[in-house]
Amino acid sequence: MWTSVELGDVPGKSAAWEGSVRVPKDGQYISLRASATDDRGGSVRQEIIRGVRVTK
């Protein structure tokens, strides 16, 4: 299941954003998906499956 995360600017840094996500109690891994576009028509999309292991 994918969940959207609202991103905010990182104070004092350019081209940097941050967000938070809640991990379900039985969650073991977090997969990441990101996309971006620029004002000249360029774009990028990246998906990382099981990018982060959750430990408790």
Is 2 domain-assigned? no
Is 1 domain-assigned? no
The answer on pLDDT for 1 being more than 90 is: no
Is 45 domain-assigned? yes
Give per-residue pLDDT as tens, 3-54.
999 999 999 999 899 999 988 889 999 999 999 999 999 999 999 999 999 9
Indicate whether this model's pTM tops 0.75. no
Is 48 domain-assigned? yes
Three-state SS for 21?
coil
The answer on pLDDT for 56 being more than 90 is: no
Domain, as residue range, for 42: 8-53
Q: How many domains does the chain have?
A: 1
Is 3 domain-assigned? no
Tell whether the torsion through CA atoms of 48, 39, 3 and 6 is positive or negative.
positive
Is 37 domain-assigned? yes
